[in-house]
Structures are given as structure tokens and as C-alpha cells.
Amino acid sequence: MSEELTLTKPTDAVPASGEPLLTARDLTMHFPIHGGFPFKRKVGAVQAVDKVDLDVYPGESFGLVGESGCGKSTTGRLLTRLLEPSGGTLQYQGTDITKATRKQLAPIRSEIQMIFQDPYSALNPRQTVGRIITSPMEVNDINPSGGREARARELLEIVGLNPEHYNRFPHEFSGGQRQRIGVARALALEPKLIVADEPVSALDVSIQAQVINLMQKVQRELGIAFVFIAHDLAIVRHFSQRLAVMYLGKIVEVGDRDSIYLRPRHPYTHALLSAVPEATGPREDGKKERIRLAGDVPSPISPPSGCRFRTRCWKAQDICASEEPPLVQISGNAAGHLTACHFPEEGTTEATSQDVVMDPALQSLESQHD
């Protein structure tokens, strides 16, 4: 299968220029929490996404990374308008679609598609593969020359499946193959933007690379823009030219690949990068900085005031609690590399003289053993 995926020499770094395809400003999603007796009323809100600004340009791959509960999936669903934002604006090619009705959205829906995380639940088990791929065309009344079936078979071939599998059911396929069907379905309408929400995290390691290669081929050859949502930093680095790091509903840092991975400024980005376990790499110990945060991500129901990362940050001071840091370009950073921090770190991932260990249990154990 991998043979079919060979490419012409991949071209990198589609310039992020021209008009953005999709623009989000102050995009906010607060899910209300109802409670109380005897009458239910709103008692609070899960601030899943809070004032997020981002632009996706045509043909680029934009990554969205963060830990669970940081709002990256919710952002993905807002961008596809599967959810209606509770605040902010969302523009698609200059048209405001923030509050667009179902009817107004209909022509845009075909241009923004989604690939889901779990290929086992994203495909209807009672429909054949052919029906799964052709029904978006039916709904949107698209009649490709040669007929829908021929197009579906062609799509199966593009994603590396046998066109003869047209009449099979999803259960007859393995996880990786099902994810390929998901990709074929997303391609059926020739979209301009695909939002892929953790498309490979449910797959085995050896299969992940197959699906990543396939999506990369699709992205480069068909010029489709991707919003790639994942928690695995190495995979996002491989797939996306630009990316945003999210923490507790906010974008804390955004920039091109090299800026984020080589010259990160936000302490949280530093912590994330230092936590990635690597199988091989520089063998000499101590070349990479070591940061161990304490505890887990706080609840998005009552996020910390000011900077949301301050409760786990080793550089936090009073101003971090009182004032929310704006997402701005710090002097010395490349254009488009924005960081939201009052006390940014040095732009390097090299080891510092002392490890940052915030975890109290680790601290005491390490001091015992040293």
C-alpha cells in the first residue's frame, strides 16, 4: 500500500499569504451548566474555548496541539460550524458564518469536511462503503461525470483501497482501512478545508504512518487546507507548517513550525516539548531541557484569573494573576510567531543549568536520591 503513496518530491511550507480561507476572531464557546432546584437554571459554564483568534490559509496545514480538555476539539467543531459559537465571529472566505442558519450553511458545508478520531464509530455500520462515500454527493446534488459510483471507486483508489471493496461494509475493514474510508468520504465533495480531529490516535503505531502519509499526499496534491488537531507533538510537527498551542481554552502560542519547535517562548510550550518521550535522538544526556509540571490541568469551569497557565508555571508572579497576557509578537520572534506571556522563556530548547521540577513528590524523591 505504501508504494501507491510515493510522491513527487514534497514541497514544503506553503506560504501563508493572501486572503485567509477561514478567520476566527474572539471565537468563544461556553457550554452552560444547568442545575438548581426546583427550577433548573444556568449555574455556570464550561469555558471550553475562550476568545481564540486564528486564520487558516488556502492549501496550508494548520496544527492545533494541546492536552485533553484544552478545547482543541471544540475549536475544530466550531470551525466546521457543527457547534454554534457563543461569542466571537467566524468568517469563511469573507462571509460571516458565525450565526448562519442551516440553509445558509448548506453551500459551505460541502467545502469544509471533517475526519473524526474513531474510525469505528464514524462510519455507519449498516451502510456499504459505496453508500458512505456517495451519500454526501447525493445530499449536495453533485453529479460527477461518469456517475457517482465511478467517482467513489476512484476515491477508494486514491486513498489506497481496492475499488472492488465498494460493496463491503465497514466491519470488514481494519482500523487503518476504515480511517482511509473516512478520508475518501471527506474528499468526495472536493472540499477546500478538512478539519481532522485526532485522525490517527486510535490507530496502531505501524498504521499511523500510513494514514499520515495518505493525508499528506491529499493535502499536497489536491491543495486542500487542513486543520490538524492532535496531542502528539511529533506528528503535528511532521504534518503542519503552522501551528497553535492551546491551554485551557486559549491559544498560548502560535507560529510556524520552526518557531514553535526550535524557538518556543511560552513556558507551557517548553513544558510540552520537554515532556515528549523520544525513542532515539541526541544520545548525550542533558541536552534537552527537563521540565516537570505539577498536577493536572485546572477545570475549565472556573479557570484561573489572568494567565490560565499561572497555577502550574514556574515563572508566575503577581501580574500573571491580575492581568491576562495578550497574544503578541515578542521582540526577536519571527513574523507571525505570537506568544501570550508576561515573562517569556528564552527561545531555545537546550538544557538549562537546572531542571524545573514543580511536582512536590518528585522533588522530595529526587533530593533523597541525589
Partner 1 sequence: MTMTKTADSSAPAEYDGKFLSVNDLRVQFSTEDGIVKAVDGLSFDLERGKTLGIVGESGSGKSVTNLSILGLHNSKTTEVTGEILMEGEDLLTVKEKRLEHLRGNKMAMIFQDPLTALSPFYTIGRQIMEPYRKHTGASKKDARARAIEMLEKVGIPQPNRRVDDYPHQFSGGMRQRAMIAMALVCDPDLIIADEPTTALDVTVQAQILDLLKELQQEFGSAIIFITHDLGVIANMADDIMVMYGGRAVERGSVSQVLYEPDHPYTWGLLSSMPRLSGDVNEELRAIRGTPPSLLNPPPGCAFNPRCDFADQVAGNKCREVRPDLGEGRAAACHLSADQKQTFFVEHIKPRLG
Residues engaged in binding partner 1 (CB under 8 A): 1-3, 5-7, 10, 12, 67-68, 174, 176-177, 204-210, 212-213, 216, 231, 233-235, 237-238, 257, 261, 271-283, 292-297, 359-362, 365-366, 368-369
CB 277, min distance to partner 1, A = 3
State the Cα–Cα distance between residues 65 and 133, nearest whole angstrom: 29
Shortest approach of partner 1 to residue 241 CB, angstroms?
9
- The Cα–Cα gap between 190 and 110 comes to 8
Q: How far is CA 244 from CA 31, 162, 200, 308, 326, in A?
A: 22, 36, 19, 16, 15
Task: Give Cα separations from 131 to 112, 138, 183, 211, 313 (angstroms).
Answer: 20, 10, 14, 22, 51
- In whole angstroms, the minimum distance from the beta carbon of 31 to partner 1 comes to 19
Shortest distance, position 175 Cβ to partner 1, whole Å? 9
Query: What is each CA distance from 349 to 237, 270, 271, 285, 359, in whole angstroms?
Result: 15, 7, 10, 14, 20
Continuous H helices in the chain: 72-79, 102-109, 129-139, 148-158, 175-187, 205-222, 233-239, 257-262, 267-275, 318-322, 360-369
> For residue 359, how far is the Cα from the chain centroid?
28
* Distance of alpha carbon 131 from alpha carbon 148, whole angstroms: 10
Which residues fall within 8 angstroms of residue 97, CB to CB, at 6 or more apart? Answer: 81, 90, 91, 104, 105, 108
Pick the closer one to partner 1 by CB: 24 or 233: 233
Closer residue to partner 1, CB minimum distance, 118 or 190? 118
| Residue 55 or 289 with smaller CB distance to partner 1 | 289
**Shortest Cβ distance from residue 213 to partner 1 (Å)?**
6
Nearer to partner 1, 141 or 285 (CB): 285
What are φ and ψ of residue 204, in 5° steps? -65, 155
Smallest gap from Cβ 136 to partner 1, in A, equals 27
Which lies closer to partner 1 via its Cβ, residue 174 or residue 322? 174
Q: How far is the CB of 151 from partner 1 (least distance, A)?
A: 26
Please, which residue, 22 or 156, has the CB nearer to partner 1? 156
Q: How far apart are CB 90 and partner 1 at their closest, in Å?
A: 28
Q: For partner 1, which is the closer residue by CB, 99 or 287?
A: 287
Measured CA to CA in angstroms, residue 71 lies from 30, 99, 258 at distances of 11, 20, 24
Q: Which is nearer to partner 1, 22 or 184 (CB)?
A: 184
Say how far apart CA 4 and CA 183 lie, in whole Å: 16
